[in-house]
Chains A and B, each alone.
Chain A
Amino acid sequence: ETGVTQSPTHLIKTRGQQVTLRCSSQSGHNTVSWYQQALGQGPQFIFQYYREEENGRGNFPPRFSGLQFPNYSSELNVNALELDDSALYLCASSLGTRGRNTGELFFGEGSRLTVL
Chain B
Amino acid sequence: DAKTTQPTSMDCAEGRAANLPCNHSTISGNEYVYWYRQIHSQGPQYIIHGLKNNETNEMASLIITEDRKSSTLILPHATLRDTAVYYCIVRPATSGTYKYIFGTGTRLKVLA
Bound pair: A and B? yes
Chain A residues near B95 (CB, 8 Å)? 100-101
Q: B49, B96, B101: which has the most chain A beta carbons within 10 Å? A: B96
Give 1 or 0 for each of A26-58: 1 = CB within 8 Å of chain B CB: 000001010100001111110010100001101
Give 1 or 0 for each of B23-43: 1 = CB within 8 Å of chain A CB: 000000000101010000111
The B contact surface, by secondary structure, is: loop
In angstroms, how far is the closest chain B Cβ from the Cβ of A13? 20
The A contact surface, by secondary structure, is: loop
Given A42-B105, A44-B102, verify A104-B96 contact (CB < 8 Å).
no
Given A42-B104, A106-B46, A108-B43, verify A94-B32 contact (CB < 8 Å).
no
Size bracket, chain A contacts = 20 to 34
Taken together as a complex, chains A and B put the C-alpha atoms of A42 and B103 apart, in Å, by: 5
B17 at the interface (CB under 8 A from A): no
Taken together as a complex, chains A and B put the C-alpha atoms of A35 and B45 apart, in Å, by: 14
B102:A43 contact, CB within 8 angstroms: yes
Q: List CB contacts (< 8 Å) of A43-83 with chain B.
A: 43-45, 48, 50, 55-56, 58
Residues of B within 8 A of A (CB): 2, 32, 34, 36, 41-46, 49, 87, 93-105
